[in-house]
Structure 1
């Protein structure tokens, strides 16, 4: 794809990347320029080179044949002189191109719908139970499960939720391996600009049990388990939703206090409906993804009620309850201010104040085994 710079007669320079290539025709370029400059196709005067020369050609001419190449500066002027040459032929060409685009979009949409239907049927899921919220979904309260305040709290929380409330420290390293493998396989997405270190170096770093997980790891787990992950930020009161754009049909919740993650589960009130719920949702939906989520992922007994850990995305009322939970945590001050907190480096025993000092220390020394120092008030 060409990376061009576009200038208009208003002296504005507009980045123009990934829209056309050498095989694109002149009309494709005009349509793309119309989108970024708001200059109508029929009023465009295109110039390239130095001194600038007008590009003259037919709509179907390839850009490479017209001398337009990657890195060129394209000057677009608005003029009334172009109206005459755009007559019936151009109108027909535009309509044909538009119909071609619409037909491709419709085809992709139909294939997408057919693919989802096949996937759900293949996993033996009742389509009716997924398509719309169930009014008899077990009601209850979202509660926080406190997990150890170590460097693996994110991995512990995800493992807890996808394994039905189980916590097995011996399996936490496998969670780190899931992340490292996913990042290593997608170097174009997980590049140095995103990771702030090379892809290979980040993979080695996240495998250490002293390394903290964060947004990158939540994104990986969302894709791996095909589950939307909602991280409730107690400091800002916001809900950060990973995988929301993928429209996954299940959802889990975490509570984040600035430096620590805890899993959030639902303890139900109406126990008598819980078995009907499990039967209708067909728990295989949640554990059949190459056995990524275990068979007891949905629920188990705890106290007088029953606990649920993974929820259908159609149950929007849970988002409302989660929002209320994070607002309560915010108003109660149940978060750590990362600009003021105190950390101790367990490798060299240096204390740091605030996130910036901790990040600077980590970059200068390579140390990552930090612990929060809490002062008694």
Structure 2
């Protein structure tokens, strides 16, 4: 069983789907969607992938016919009465025989092959403000890629990753625990030579909310979620890709935006004003970065932020220790000061 995320007019749900089980059909998937959304199978309009595309719904076919992957998101909307047919009023039976399908006539099967897109109810979205000063975004296929800003509180990496994988920054402390457990479970990889200090000390340090995270933490989190984390540097446009051990090809990817001293997230939304629950954070890795629509959009977003000087050169920026007030030059001085004094709270002059 694998988790499939549903985005539907009533919100966001997660269902468990037997993608690897023989005999599990498209019809079975539709029953799971009905249980989560209360949208009858004959009225379901399903889209998946990036850019989102309509799924060809033939209920009797095996689930493999849809090409879904673990972690996929399905956008569910409801077909209008004219497209759904009269049988839409018949509720599904809990004892349904999978060898026959009382919900579909031959004409309905043909209709669902080319479903009519239905916009979500207007109440699902917040109205755009009269003068928007919200986060930056760039248009791309299927919507807009938006810069999702998280608090600048020394936990930005963990908050941004939590936002992407758990749809909330509130689970940032859990991200730290995942990192600690990853180090504890892989002593042959995360040893003192790699960590720069004894593993037990590193674990105790990273669990503190005042400690920054970096490449080690992103590597462990990518492995835990079995998803590539692509971090794009605003100043240079460089993309650092932290792939799970089995590689990112054919898997899923999410996007971080790195300013030099701060991590934010980037997610896809149908429009700039869409509420958070309508944002898509995971994207299939389908092609090389130069041809991947999401990665192209991420580079454009970084260019927008670069044009606003929304980055910090960590080699030359002026810092002040917020504990003792000492002035420092660049990340190198900050690291040395932290090692000498144990002070880890820094701010820019």
- 1:160 is aligned to 163
Normalized per residue, the structure richer in helix is 1
Cα displacement string for residues 136-191 of structure 1 (whole angstroms, at most 9, x for unaligned residues): 99701111111111100011001111123x232xx322211110110111111112
- 2:265 is aligned to 263
Indicate which of 136, 142, 159 corresponds to 1:139.
142
**Structure ID, larger Rg:** 1
- 1:247 is aligned to 249
User: Contact 1:227–1:249 (CA<8 Å) still a contact in 2?
Assistant: yes
Secondary structure class of the residue paired with 1:308: coil
Change in 2 beyond 3 A, CA 1:163/1:122: farther
Unmatched runs of 5 consecutive residues or more in structure 2: 1-17, 30-62, 75-116, 118-139
Change in 2 beyond 3 A, CA 1:122/1:211: farther
Q: Post-superposition shift, 1:312?
A: 2.0
Residue pairs, 1:81-100, within 5 angstroms: none
- 1:308 is aligned to 280
- 1:228 is aligned to 228
Secondary structure class of the residue paired with 1:197: coil
Residue pairs, 1:19-98, within 5 angstroms: none
Between the aligned partners of 1:163 and 1:182, the Cα distance in structure 2 is 18
Q: Post-superposition shift, 1:202?
A: 0.8
- 1:368 is aligned to 344
Change in 2 beyond 3 A, CA 1:320/1:361: same
User: Contact 2:147–2:301 (CA<8 Å) still a contact in 1?
Assistant: no
User: Contact 1:138–1:268 (CA<8 Å) still a contact in 2?
Assistant: no
Indicate which of 327, 337, 343 corresponds to 2:303.
327
User: Contact 2:248–2:285 (CA<8 Å) still a contact in 1?
Assistant: no
Between the aligned partners of 1:333 and 1:307, the Cα distance in structure 2 is 26
Between the aligned partners of 1:330 and 1:240, the Cα distance in structure 2 is 17
- 2:179 is aligned to 179
Cα displacement string for residues 11-48 of structure 1 (whole angstroms, at most 9, x for unaligned residues): xxxxxxxxxxxxxxxxxxxxxxxxxxxxxxxxxxxxxx
* Aligned residue pair count: 221
- 1:296 is aligned to none
- 1:33 is aligned to none
Between the aligned partners of 1:184 and 1:310, the Cα distance in structure 2 is 27
Residue pairs, 1:269-288, within 5 angstroms: none
Secondary structure class of the residue paired with 2:179: helix
Unmatched runs of 5 consecutive residues or more in structure 1: 1-118, 272-299
TM-score by length of 1: 0.53
Residue pairs, 1:314-353, within 5 angstroms: 314=286, 316-353=292-329
Q: Post-superposition shift, 1:209?
A: 0.9
Q: Post-superposition shift, 1:248?
A: 5.8
Between the aligned partners of 1:366 and 1:221, the Cα distance in structure 2 is 26
